[in-house]
Amino acid sequence: MTRSASFPFPVGRAALAAGLAVAIGLATPALAAGKSFGHHGPQLERAIERLELDDAQRTEIFALLDAARPAGRALREQIRAAHADLHASLADPDVDESAVLARAEALGALRTNLSKHRLRTLIQVRERLSPAQREQLAEAMERRQSRRHGTRRQVL
């Protein structure tokens, strides 16, 4: 049997809007709670606290985290606003697909910027750690990732 390139049923604007509204609605609780993805914020700070840092490292690393916090907070607020804007546009019965997709693109760009900000901060923290401390931090992050996604590393 051959399948046509189009959907087997008509997908109208209402269906598109409803699908996007559901997807966005599912993401709202995590955003509202200030949760995000990656190794950052409180999780990173807890992992760093468990490392055996000397006083100079501790001072420098936590100063770095403190300095990075306002930019991360601002990006998260921009994401919340862009998310609300996208969600509000979907409430319009005459929603314009290109406008919605442009809003989704802008939201994606903000999320990418936040991910890059977190990665830069993590790299700056790692640069201040000894090789043994880097390994300990990597193991802590891997354990957290495994718990988060339900996978366990098998030991042979």
Per-residue model confidence (pLDDT) at position 149: 67
> Is residue 66 in a domain?
yes
CATH number, domain with residue 76: 1.20.120.1490
Tokens (6 digits) for 93: 């019965």
Q: Does 132 map to a domain?
A: yes
Residue ranges in the chain assigned as alpha helix (H): 13-32, 41-49, 55-90, 97-127, 131-149
Query: Phi, psi at residue 72, to the nearest 5°?
Result: -65, -40
Q: Which domain holds residue 112?
A: 39-143
- CA distance linking residue 141 with residue 125, whole number of Å: 14
User: Is residue 15 a part of any domain in this protein?
Assistant: no
Structural domains of the chain, count: 1
In a domain, 14, yes or no: no
Cα–Cα distance between 16 and 68 in angstroms, integer? Answer: 38
Residue 3 covered by a domain: no
> Picking from 8-12, 39-43, 64-68, which range would have the lowest pLDDT averaged per residue?
8-12
Residue 106 domain-assigned?
yes
Q: How confident is the model at residue 152 (pLDDT cuts 50, 70, 90)?
A: low
How much is the average pLDDT of 130-138? 93
Which residues 6+ apart lie within 8 Å of 67 measured at CB? none
pLDDT at position 21: 47
